[in-house]
Structure 1
Amino acid sequence: MPRQDGVPNCGTQDRIDAALGHRVSLRHRIGEREGRPLYTDAVGTLSSDGDGTLVVDTRRGEVRVERAAVAALRVVPPAPARRASWSAVAHLENLCADGWPALVDEPLGAWRLRAADGFSGRANSALAIGDPGVPPPAALDRVRTFAAAHGIPARLQTPVGSPWSAGAQRAGWTLDTGHEAGAEVAVLVMELTALAGPASGVTIGQEPGDDWWSVTGAPTGPAERHVLTAAAAPGYGTAHTAGRPVGAVRAAVVEDHLYLSRLAVLPDARRGGTGTALTRAAAGWGLERGARWAVLQVALANTGARAFYERLGATEHHRYHYLVPAT
């Protein structure tokens, strides 16, 4: 507590100095009423402006507090991350779907029924976001019918915790634990200006040339080729070492986002910066085409890829999972 002269005692000063850079709950005096002091609280990251004034960076903006006004201070845990709104999640999911176009993509209200001869879960599932325009049981029946007509398993791709996921699970749909690439996926975003950087040895072309295919693997059929090449003006990055292709990445600009996929580095070229160079080159390519953000989808089980992108500055926007009928 402050001394009677209004100056915090040494113990309080030491606690303030120790708390700089941390998230705190700070009670401070803001005046008097009828001879009694008035206090308020500010919660946020604590810093000092160098002139003896403290700054608490709260969610509503900066609060400036004189040290002499501090009445109590304690360090508190970091704030929980804010969940993106479902409308924001749906918008980003649609951008990703446009960046990874299925061979067949039929609307069901706000849902998208997709098929691509079995190539990837993303292109062979119903993207369940928003209002399907029919009662939920009828929408799920339509997913089954569409899947049967195209010779693929009935599967939903839907955001974790969303009302669309909850509705499907109430109807008996369960996690697709047999999904080879992983049934739960993190959608990551990052700022392109922070990601772009030097990328020697990387070229980005408008077509996936032989070198690009040699790293990613040749397509198994027309559906896979369509998914990888049909997005609007995609870019195909290839990294070379001593004239040999050793890495590849696919990029597609959708609105103001750069959708990244298919990052691959040959085993004998890993841990040498090739993946970073490919990602930074793709970021620069996207910036030149008006993108501001990168977005990508990584299976939760792929801990190595998630750690790689987090080191580059990626943060999780939301998660989705694949659900299948119980029977």
Structure 2
Amino acid sequence: MGKRVSVRRLNDPASKGEKFTDTVGVLASWDDGVLLITRRNGESVRIPEASLVAGKVVPAAPARRRGPAASFEELAHVSSRAWRPLESERLGEWELRAASGFTRRANSALPLGDPGLPLPDALEAVRRWYGERGLPAYVQAATGAEGTQELLCAQLERLGWTREVSAAVWTGALAPVADRDGGGGVALSRRADEAWLARYQRKGLSEVALEVLGGGPSVWFATVPAADGGPPAAIGRCVVDGRWAGFAAVEVDPALRRRGLATRVMAALARRALDEGASAAWLQVESENAGARTLYTGLGFTAHHAYHHYRAPRTAGADDDGRR
């Protein structure tokens, strides 16, 4: 239990295809003749005991060949500071975060450590805290690296919490990003001005949202002006936090994509982060965003772990308008 395993099971003889299927992940439970294995991407796989052919414990995490060394817990704290909530409270070692619903990253419980209560009681406290603020209750949990929370994810699912949004944290060296482009034409600012916001995909932002965007240890906004004076051709955001530079909101005018503008934005932000003493970079990317994944792979980033937002069982009330 709680170990990373590789399991081989026998497929249904009536089905066409391979005779066996292999599954690798964390063994989250083995109850009532069913194994529950949580994969790196957070997917839960149920395997009937009767179909089990072989299984073994495998190393906790595969060796990473590129990118800066970092623990899951370090990155979880760094990424949380990059999306700083307006209100937070401790539940044992957990952190409850709220920002009027703008981005789930600032409106979810971060369950690092012991909440000081049995899990069902802790989750009920989470529900009450968010309910008092008129917000849906979310828990942000991670999978796919040493020290991540596969067991917690499985427990959340057993208690009826639903995984709604998943993304991945990628890491890479900062200097190669800074060296990629020297074309200039990128304006840097400490605040998101009207031009920057005109390109940002989330329109009609509240004052709370603007505070979250501007929050963090050292925040920079990048803008590539449009030739016609309209909304910027490209934008980006970077939060410098010690050795880390976190990139976000890298967006390009759809008509101008594949011209290197995103790389130019990230390079300008990376150079500023280097000036402030950073050496490593991280970012968050959704699995279905193929274009972003291609860009970041080309810049030397690799996946570190996945994270997921689990929502409490639904009750009557307002719909969620939060974002990843």
For normalisation by structure 2, the TM-score amounts to: 0.69
Partner Cα distance (1:299, 1:252) in 2: 19
1:93 aligns with 2:80: no
Q: Which of residues 182, 189, 196 in structure 2 aligns to 1:205?
A: 189
Partner Cα distance (2:151, 2:74) in 1: 19
Unaligned 5+ segments in structure 1 are 1-79
Partner Cα distance (1:228, 1:219) in 2: 14
Instruction: Name the residue aligned to 2:22.
Output: none
Instruction: Name the residue aligned to 1:9.
Output: none
1:261 aligns with 2:239: no
Contact 1:112 1:126 in 2 (8 A): yes
Instruction: Name the residue aligned to 1:151.
Output: 134
Task: Rate the CA distance shift 1:174–1:323 in 2: closer, same or farther, 3 A.
Answer: farther
Contact 1:257 1:293 in 2 (8 A): yes
1:81 aligns with 2:68: no
Instruction: Name the residue aligned to 2:15.
Output: none
Q: Which of residues 209, 234, 239 in structure 2 aligns to 1:247?
A: 234
Task: Rate the CA distance shift 1:168–1:143 in 2: closer, same or farther, 3 A.
Answer: farther
Q: Give how far 1:254 is off.
A: 1.3
Partner Cα distance (2:77, 2:257) in 1: 32
Partner Cα distance (1:322, 1:218) in 2: 23
Q: Give how far 1:246 is off.
A: 0.9
Instruction: Name the residue aligned to 1:304.
Output: 291
The number of equivalent residue pairs is: 242
Which amino acid is the alignment partner of residue 237 of structure 2?
A: R
Give 1:60-209 correspondences, 5 Å limit. Answer: 81-82=62-63, 88-160=71-143, 164-167=149-152, 169-171=154-156, 172-173=158-159, 176=162, 179=164, 183-197=165-179, 198-209=182-193
Worse overlay, 113-122 or 236-245: 236-245
Partner Cα distance (1:288, 1:93) in 2: 24
Task: Rate the CA distance shift 1:253–1:243 in 2: closer, same or farther, 3 A.
Answer: farther
Q: Which of residues 202, 217, 223 in structure 2 aligns to 1:232?
A: 217
SS of 1:271's partner is: coil
Partner Cα distance (1:188, 1:101) in 2: 19
Structure 1 vs Structure 2: percent identity of aligned residues? 31
Worse overlay, 280-289 or 199-208: 199-208
Partner Cα distance (2:89, 2:306) in 1: 23
Which amino acid is the alignment partner of residue 184 of structure 1?
A: S
Partner Cα distance (2:228, 2:280) in 1: 31
Instruction: Name the residue aligned to 1:33.
Output: none
Divergent runs of 4+, >3 A: 161-165, 173-177
1:284 aligns with 2:268: no
